[in-house]
Amino acid sequence: MENQPRRESSTANNNDEQQQVIGNDDEYFGSFSTSLISPPFGHTNQLQLRNRANLVGEKIINPGIHMCDSCQSPILVYGRMIPCKHVFCFDCADKSPEKCLRCSNNILKIEKCKIGTVFICRTDTCRRTYLSQRDLDAHIQHRHLRRSDGSLRF
């Protein structure tokens, strides 16, 4: 009965003469060998994302991705050197000797900071860090803009 033609009965009579041949089951359902061959995904199918995503972790608003000066990889956890306030990735900062890798000042402590919580001064070669945008702005006003204003005056 496997590859027998399927027949659909007419509503008027159930006689064999009035039954129509629709086709065999392979044509109607497709055979096993033809169901494995399909066109490439982008040609006939559209991407449909119906699954819910469970997001894990915290959302960081407008993150600035910084690169470690020592290992040249993106910093996910900052190692902030105190008192010079330079940052590296925590691994490089933790492995460093008693001196800062950037300015060679003695290190008293290394703070561990999450991504998105450190603001870095990008003026010239300063690269000092602050834990708020307000502190960074005050640093720029005090250290960098006064010098340029003073040099303009006679």
pLDDT in tens, the chain (154 residues): 555 555 554 454 555 554 555 555 555 555 555 555 665 655 555 556 677 777 777 766 666 788 888 899 988 899 999 999 999 999 999 988 788 988 889 999 999 998 888 999 987 788 999 999 999 999 998 888 865 555 543 3
**Whole-number Cα distances in Å, 54 to 51, 57, 147:** 10, 10, 51
Domain of residue 86, CATH code: 3.30.40.10
* Six token digits for residue 32: 């096993």
Q: Report how far residue 52's alpha carbon sits from residue 32's, in angstroms, rounded to the nearest whole number.
A: 32
Domains contained in the chain, number: 1
Residue 66 lies in a domain: no
Write down the residue that tokens 């559209």 correspond to.
46
Query: Residue 131: which domain range?
Result: 77-152
Spatial strand order in the sheet of 87-89: 87-89, 77-82, 109-114
pTM: 0.54
